[in-house]
Amino acid sequence: MPSATQQRSIDDGLVLHLPMNEGIGAKIFDRSQYGNHGDITGVLGDVWANTKDGMAIATWDGVGDYLEVPAAASFAIQTGTVALFAKVVSEITGHDTIIYKGDGASYPNMHYAIKLLTGSNKFMFVVADGIDYDFDTGQTPYVIGTEYHLALTFDGSTVKFYNNGRLDMFIAQTITVSTDLDLLRVGRNNGINYPCNCETYETRVYNRVLVEQEIHTLSEMRRRI
């Protein structure tokens, strides 16, 4: 008899799904039921420059290109999962932001985020309540020019970080993640802080905590070898 995990669709609980496969234009469309479409800021020809063979990949140049999704209650989650494919093209500030939801550049204002800690070549993850925060880095160093599937889960007691479908780090969660209505960005923090020169696609936010088997399934949705 199938387990509950096997019976559940990988799309159950999706509150934001940005395949980033448009290849043209200034908007990236949310394929979840919530319609949280994002707007691109920057040079569109640069953002979509790596679209090949019908496989679109969004590129954020770390200067003026980023995606902004307006604040919405659907992805203002207290527990859940954040996942996407990302490739670091180059390092910029030391705390480059791949994905972020929050209302400021300081860590307590990053309700959930995946970033780079460039001095150690590690991915960093953050969850916060607006006053305090929990954070750490994954164990696996990243390599410039290599694509990774990254996932962050938080259930109120434990924060877990996955790299390419495998658990890479976990820490005790000491705060309750803020559910304030704030924007979500890919390629930059709020404001002008901590941009990232990276390529991304298949960005997903869930209002439930995915198990490792499900995250491994997501990690196999690659568009390129």
Report the pLDDT value the prediction gives residue 54, as an integer from 0 to 100.
65
Please state the rounded mean pLDDT for residues 174-180: 97
For residues 85 and 147, is the Cβ–Cβ distance under 8 A? yes
Question: Does the pLDDT at position 4 exceed 90?
Answer: no
For residues 128 and 175, is the Cβ–Cβ distance under 8 A? yes
**pLDDT, tens digit (0-9, with 9 covering 90-100), for 149-165:** 999 999 999 999 999 99
**pLDDT, tens digit (0-9, with 9 covering 90-100), for 96-108:** 999 999 998 788 9
Report the pLDDT value the prediction gives residue 104, as an integer from 0 to 100.
82
- Global pTM reads 0.94
Token duo for residue 145: 């020019």
Chain-centroid distance of CA 27 in Å reads 17
CA distance 137 to 146: 18
**pLDDT, tens digit (0-9, with 9 covering 90-100), for 38-53:** 999 998 988 998 766 6
- For the chain, the structural domain boundaries read 14-209
Question: Does the pLDDT at position 95 exceed 80?
Answer: yes
**pLDDT, tens digit (0-9, with 9 covering 90-100), for 70-88:** 999 999 999 999 999 999 9
Please state the rounded mean pLDDT for residues 122-139: 97
Cβ neighbours of residue 58 under 8 Å, at least 6 residues apart?
20, 28, 40, 47, 48, 67, 186, 199, 200, 201
**Residue whose C-alpha is closest to residue 158's, from 169, 149, 147:** 169
Helix, strand, or coil here: 44? helix
Report the pLDDT value the prediction gives residue 15, as an integer from 0 to 100.
98
Please state the rounded mean pLDDT for residues 113-117: 96
Question: Does the pLDDT at position 2 exceed 90?
Answer: no
CATH of domain 14-209: 2.60.120.200
Neighbours of 178 (CB within 10 A): 24
